[in-house]
Amino acid sequence: MTAYVMDSWTLTRRTLLQWRNQPAQLGLGLLFPVMVLLMFAYLFGGAMSVPGGGGYREFLLPGMFVLTMAFGLESTFQAVSTDAGRGVTDRFRTMPISAAAVLTGRTVADMLNAVVSLTVLIACGLAVGWRWHEGAVNALLAVGLLLLLRYALLWVGIWLALVAGKPEMLMAVQILVWPLAFLSSVFTAPDTMPGWLGTIATWNPLSATASATRELFGNPGPGGELWPAVGWPAVTLAVFVPLAVRRYRRLT
196 falls within a domain: yes
Nearest to 247, CA basis, from 84, 122, 97: 84
141: pLDDT strictly greater than 90: yes
Q: Is 84 in contact with 165 (CB distance < 8 Å)? A: yes
Instruction: Say what the pLDDT of residue 240 is.
Output: 93
How many structural domains comprise the chain? 1
The answer to whether 145 and 212 have CB atoms below 8 angstroms apart is yes
Q: Which residues constitute the domain of residue 215?
A: 2-13+24-43+52-249
Per mean pLDDT, which range of 16-25, 45-54, 59-68, 196-205 is the poorest? 45-54
Residue 132 maps to a domain: yes
Q: Per the domain annotation, does 149 fall within a domain?
A: yes
Q: Is residue 200 part of a domain?
A: yes
Q: Rounded to the nearest 5 degrees, what angle is found at the Cα of 143, between the Cα atoms of 162 and 50?
A: 105
Which pLDDT band holds residue 252 (cuts at 50, 70, 90)?
A: low
Q: Which three-class secondary structure state does DSSP give residue 222?
A: coil
Structure pTM? 0.89
Q: Which helix (H) or strand (E) holds 143?
A: helix 135-164
Residue 49 CA, distance from chain mean position: 26
- Is 217 part of a structural domain of the chain? yes
- 176/189 Cα distance (integer angstroms): 21
CA distance 246 to 252: 12
Give a yes or no: residue 19 inside a domain. Answer: no
Residue 59 domain-assigned (yes or no): yes
